[in-house]
Chains A and B, each alone.
Chain A
Amino acid sequence: MVDPLIALLTGTGLILILLIIFIPQKGLISRLRRNKRNEKRVLIEDALKHLYSCEYNGVSCSIDSIAGKLSIASDDAAKLLANLEQHDLVKSHDEDIVLTPDGRSYALRIIRVHRLWEQYLADETSVGEKDWHFSAEEIEHKLSPAQADALAAQIGNPVFDPHGDPIPTSKGDILSKRGITLNSLMPDAYAHIIHIEDEPNAIYSQLVAEGLHVGMHVRMIEATKERIRFLANGEEVVLAPLFAKNINVTTVKGEPKIEGKFKTLSSLSIGEKGKVIGISTKCRGQQRRRLMDLGVVPGTEIEVEMKSVGGDPIAYRIRGATVALRKKQAERIFLEN
């Protein structure tokens, strides 16, 4: 019989080794998979995407900006560009680099997959907001146009991604840029966030951390060169203009509802009633649809009926039915004051 101490040590060691190899995300296997990324095709596709984004935003691109964007050396970027030109995907006049129609439709195909995937993650999964972009950066090089179409069909052929960007159709049509940047919003004007740029990530995570999201209403307080001050979430948010530039808004007439100014369903106690004014846009996908199917729509009166033994979930009377909701959900349902 083996000495138990030796057996224990070997067993523990074996388990640790297996964990190191197989654990999701941080394990050796998933690392290996990720390292395979830097292939030539990926670089080509990323470069096309970058060129397209310059074109869409009406700024000019250079070899340096490509190099910076793809984190490669300028020499490599120049070689890449030559390669693209050879394949008739881009043309360069003097300093200007422009996409050919072929190059544009290639770029749009990649962008379509990217945005579809983000919408899929946002709508059909519980993957966190900050992980959407990275996941999409990988998937966009993997799905064929046919797979992209199947994905689109599965999630109801969305026309916007969760950041508010239009998703190109399978034929390559895309909605032109909408709205104005938050910086150019007049003081005291009400607006509706229609787009939050998800790159660079440092800025995006900051905006997410502030609780800003597409569909939200804001009111400008002041916009100077140093800072942009506005009302969102019922409180003041201050952003540097560099950050605010990444938010696109459309102005709204009248005085719309601003989130956070209102009390939430979770603030009611037993026996109290409230009238729904809206569901936070953070509650999305299946969960949002389910709530609305149950009758949680603006105008619905909800009464708190009873608490469970632990105090969460709580049962509410919604349009004649008793429905239990967790605290986290109730926090996302806004009521009239």
Chain B
Amino acid sequence: MKQTEQNNEEILSLANNLRWDLGQGFHDQLMESIFANATTIAQRSVTTSKEKPLFSFDRALDRIVTSPVFGFPVMFIILAMVFWITVQGANIPSEFLASILINDIHPALKSFAGSIGTPLWLSGLLIDGAYLSMAWVVSVMLPPMAIFFPLFTLLEDFGYLPRVAFNMDNLYRRAGAHGKQALTMAMGFGCNAAGVVATRVIDSPRERLIAIITNNFSLCNGRWPTQILIATIFIGGVVPAELAGIVSAAAVVGIAVLGIVFSLVVSFGLSKTMLKGEASTFSLELPPYRPPRILRTLYTSLIDRTIIVLWRAVVFAVPAGMVIWLVANVTFGEESIAQVFINWVDPAALIIGLNGVIILAYIIAIPANEIVIPTVLMLTVLVAGLTGVGSGSGVMFDAGSASATGTILAAGGWTLLTGINLMLFSLLHNPCSTTIYTIYKETKSVKWTLVSTFLPIVMGIVVCFFVTQIWRLFAGA
């Protein structure tokens, strides 16, 4: 036994001595010799037709998509179409799901619970809290994701996305990032958690971390409805009615573009400071175009991306729903927890142009951005003591129309400034808990998870603060 051990050590020390003799070029020599062997073998069995085909589909297509003239326009048209189809296509099923899950099943569940004598607190907690938040997340999240991800996957299967990365790398390189980040960002417009998972295609450690940390700056589909609603109410409200539609749409697009700008600026900052030392490599293979298999893609992208992301969101939304119901219903002396908290943070929140309701809504809606607006409405009604609207304390609701929502918010003391700040804060705040969890799973690092969580929220506070104070300085309000 002893002898064996000694022999083993001898093997290792011989190896070490040989390594010193071989010097540093060892790996290079080895690779060279492997490829030399590969060439010899390949030459014996592979024959490539010498004459180039007159017309090659791949080449022709590549010439267009990488052309200095058509390259970017083609890309913008394709991406815009994907988003347009998603937004348009998701509307109807979203409303359908909401009407079934929220307008039909929810009251049915309530009356059923009442008929079998469930205590009020229990039916409130489970049905008004857990069920309703889940229903909300499903109806807002599922349709756009079920459309967006398959479309994106089709482009991926076809081989177009690597070309986008190829074209965008010039810009991203300057920001210290990888061209493929353009794609993970685009994916983030669908869902940040899916965007974070998609960063796996970036094989360079530093660039991958950058892509993960900045993915939150892509306005995900849970935040689009908030943006659109608030822009319609507050920004559309200050311009003449005939311009309202265009101006509020421009405001939303402006926020999304601002998000892209932030992601590039933050990428640049990170690559120059915190991530300066992380290893960085670049290589991007451009695969040949392949006809996408549509049915298969639909099936797998539904299973792989949509269902998994939705499942995670639901898992996080259920407890959040309970918390929402509890903070509105558990009282602390005369007032509910929600009211106590809101009164307490209100002064600080006003400095950054928001209010206590928004802060509380963002804290308890960490699991899903989709429920921010319903929570805000419920809390506003609760705090402002409005009667005749809403469905009771702790029950999230949808006011039905933008103007009805606007009336409630105005009663809660909201101004144009609050609206603008909410739009900014909705862009710049911590990722939802699904995304945070995904970031942790992908990076396996508490440090980077914390950075990705707190960096955007600190930025949000700073940006809202300056916007508010400068606004007050000039507008005097």
Query: A residues engaging B (CB < 8 A)?
Result: 1-2, 4-5, 7-8, 11, 15, 23-24, 121, 124-127, 159-160, 164, 166, 169, 173, 175, 194, 214-215, 279, 285-287, 289-295, 297-300, 306-313, 315, 319, 321-326, 329
Contact = CB atoms under 8 A, between A and B. Distances in A.
A326 B176 CA distance: 13
Interface of B: 13, 16, 19-20, 23-25, 27-28, 31-32, 35-36, 39, 62-63, 66-68, 71-72, 166-167, 169-171, 173, 179, 203-204, 206, 273-274, 276-288, 350-351, 462, 465-466, 468-473
A278 to B, nearest CB: 8
Contact of A294 (B32, B170, B283, B462): B283
B470 A8 contact: yes
Contacts of A323: 283-286
A221 B278 CA distance: 40
Contacts of B35: 295, 297, 299-300, 319
A35 to B, nearest CB: 21
Contacts of B39: 299
Nearest to A318: B285
Contacts of B27: 289, 292
Contacts of A307: 66
Contact of A11 (B23, B279, B469): B469
8 nearest interchain CB pairs?
A310-B170, A4-B472, A309-B71, A324-B284, A322-B286, A4-B473, A287-B281, A292-B31
A143 B274 CA distance: 22
A309 to B, nearest CB: 4
12 contacts: A4-B473, A7-B472, A8-B473, A11-B462, A286-B281, A297-B28, A298-B32, A310-B169, A311-B170, A313-B170, A313-B173, A329-B282
A194 B23 contact: yes
Contacts of A294: 283, 285
A125 B31 contact: no
A257 to B, nearest CB: 12
Contact of A324 (B203, B283, B465, B473): B283
A308 B166 contact: yes
A171 B235 CA distance: 72
A169 B203 CA distance: 32
A159 B16 contact: yes
Nearest to B179: A313
Given A159-B20, A300-B35, A324 B169 contact: yes
A326 B31 contact: no
A137 to B, nearest CB: 16
A7 B464 CA distance: 13
A295 B276 CA distance: 28
Given A126-B206, A297-B32, A299-B36, A175 B283 contact: no
A215 B25 contact: yes
User: What's the dominant secondary structure at chain B's contact region?
Assistant: helix
Contacts of A287: 280-282
Contacts of B62: 306
A169 B16 contact: yes
A245 B473 CA distance: 66
A11 B465 contact: yes
B31 A324 contact: no
A252 to B, nearest CB: 12
A285 B279 contact: yes
A160 B72 CA distance: 47
Contacts of A215: 24-25
Contacts of A289: 27
Contacts of A285: 279
B173 A312 contact: yes
Given A7-B465, A295-B35, A299-B32, 8 more contacts: A4-B471, A166-B20, A287-B281, A290-B283, A308-B166, A309-B67, A309-B167, A313-B173
B63 A306 contact: yes
A26 to B, nearest CB: 11
A18 to B, nearest CB: 10
B276 A127 contact: yes
B470 A324 contact: no
A300 B25 CA distance: 18
B180 to A, nearest CB: 11
Given A214-B24, A290-B281, A313 B169 contact: yes
Contacts of A298: 32
B289 to A, nearest CB: 11
Contacts of B466: 8, 11
B81 to A, nearest CB: 19
Contacts of B63: 306
B173 A326 contact: yes
Contacts of B470: 4, 8
Nearest to B473: A4
B278 to A, nearest CB: 6
Contact of A322 (B36, B68, B285): B285
A2 B350 CA distance: 10
Given A8-B466, A11-B466, A292-B28, A313 B66 contact: no
A287 B204 CA distance: 9
A134 B472 CA distance: 49
Nearest to A162: B24
A324 to B, nearest CB: 4
A308 B282 CA distance: 15
A24 B271 CA distance: 13
A2 B469 CA distance: 9
Contacts of B71: 308-309
B273 A125 contact: no
Nearest to B283: A290
A309 B277 CA distance: 29
B460 to A, nearest CB: 14
B279 A321 contact: no
Contacts of A2: 351
B24 A164 contact: yes
A329 B173 CA distance: 13
Most buried by A among B72, B279, B468: B279
Contacts of B287: 322
Contact of A160 (B24, B32, B67): B24
B45 to A, nearest CB: 14
A329 B204 CA distance: 14
A285 B278 CA distance: 12
A24 B274 contact: yes
